[in-house]
């Protein structure tokens, strides 16, 4: 940590787990097939991914997941697309909740999230500049650098530069950005409506 600075942290308790559930439910756990299915999906259904309650900013263990806006024409591909969109929209909601303490203008993706459908969906929906690390195991590389410093060695300039060589993930064009903002507003309204319904159910004798 940098002395005199703070780390702001938002807990998304259903990102990987919600995608794993949807992958298992829709394709029997076939990740490649699930991603291909999502790419063929049509907009429409909305997924609130609170399968194990919500994390930040609500921290409501009683919150539950839901698919909204289904119709007779809805297909598994549409649900797969909605699953990716739901976890991305929930991340945006968490980031927005942190904004009163300072603007969050960009995200850096590492690990498995730095490529494929996850990265593309985040770039389209998170409302921020998106960057990705040059290699997948950024966390392990950072831990190794800290350990190397911890035993008294200096890091070479090339090692530091390589770890900071972030690559931009293309974001949406202006028209698609407006569509993303409308979808996000719909998502926020749905989360609030589900929370209100849950409270009413709990208060009903």
Write out pLDDT tens, residues 9-22. 888 989 999 999 99
116-125 helix and 76-98 helix, angle to the nearest 10 degrees: 50
From residue 194, how far is each of 19, 32, 102, 187 by CA, in Å?
20, 32, 28, 11
Residues in the chain: 205
* Higher-pLDDT residue of 45, 5: 45
Local structure of 64: helix, strand or coil: coil
Q: How many CB atoms lie within 10 A of CB 60?
A: 14
Q: Which tens digit of pLDDT belongs to each residue from 169-191?
A: 887 788 888 899 999 999 999 99
The 10s digit of each residue's pLDDT in 80-95 is 999 999 999 999 999 9
Nearest Cα neighbor of 76 from 119, 116, 12, 30 is: 30
- Whether residue 86 contacts residue 101, with contact meaning beta carbons closer than 8 Å, is answered with no
Residues of the chain with CATH 3.30.420.40: 10-101+173-205
Q: What's the longest Cα–Cα distance across the chain?
A: 66
What's the confidence (pLDDT) of residue 4?
86
Structure tokens at 9: 């942290």
Per-residue pLDDT, averaged over 29-45, amounts to: 95
Topology given in CATH for the domain delimited by 10-101+173-205: Nucleotidyltransferase; domain 5 (3.30.420)
| 46-48 and 66-68 beta bridge pairing | antiparallel
Smallest CA-to-CA distance from 63 within 186, 164, 195 is with: 195
The answer on pLDDT for 114 being more than 70 is: no
> Which residue reads 């992958």 in tokens?
23
Q: Beta 46-48 vs 129-132: how paired, if at all?
A: unpaired
Does 57 sit behind a cis peptide bond, omega within 30 degrees of 0 on the bond before it?
Answer: yes
């Amino acid at each position: 940590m940098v002395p005199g600075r703070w780390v702001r942290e938002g807990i998304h308790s259903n990102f990987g787990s919600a995608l794993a559930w949807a992958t298992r439910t829709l394709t029997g756990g076939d990740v490649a097939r699930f991603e291909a299915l999502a790419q063929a999906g049509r907009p429409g259904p909305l997924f609130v991914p609170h399968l194990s309650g919500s994390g930040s900013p609500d921290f409501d263990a009683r919150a539950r997941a839901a698919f909204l806006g289904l119709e007779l024409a809805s297909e598994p591909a549409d649900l797969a697309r909605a699953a990716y969109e739901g976890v991305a929209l929930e991340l945006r909601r968490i980031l927005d909740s942190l904004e009163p303490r300072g603007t969050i203008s960009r995200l850096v993706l590492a690990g498995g999230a730095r490529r494929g459908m996850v990265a593309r969906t985040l770039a389209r929906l998170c409302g921020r500049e998106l960057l990705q690390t040059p290699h997948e195991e950024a966390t392990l590389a950072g831990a190794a650098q800290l350990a190397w410093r911890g035993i008294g060695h200096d890091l070479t300039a090339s090692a530091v530069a390589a770890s900071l060589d972030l690559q931009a993930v293309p974001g949406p064009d202006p028209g698609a950005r407006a569509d993303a903002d409308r979808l996000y507003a719909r998502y926020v309204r749905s989360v609030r409506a589900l929370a209100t319904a849950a409270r009413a159910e709990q208060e009903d004798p």
